[in-house]
Amino acid sequence: MGQKTRNKLTDYWKNHEVTKENEFAILTNIIHQEWAGITC
């Protein structure tokens, strides 16, 4: 993901009350898992 896209995404999350570091980590992990085709 390009830096510009990542910034847009994190700005979107911030605007929708995602503020804690662990919330960002959870969302980032979900995106990575989907991108990599990893299932839990």
pLDDT in tens, 1-40: 588 988 899 899 999 999 899 999 999 999 999 989 987 6
Would you tell me the crossing angle of helices 21-36 and 3-15 to the nearest 10 degrees? Answer: 130
Domain span at 29: 2-38
Count how many domains the chain has. Answer: 1
Q: What is the pLDDT of residue 39?
A: 73
pTM above 0.75, yes or no: no
Nearest alpha-carbon partner for 18 in 8, 10, 6: 10
Q: What is the pLDDT of residue 36?
A: 92
Q: What is the pLDDT of residue 1?
A: 57
Q: What is the pLDDT of residue 40?
A: 65
> What CA–CA distance (Å, rounded) separates 2 from 40?
26
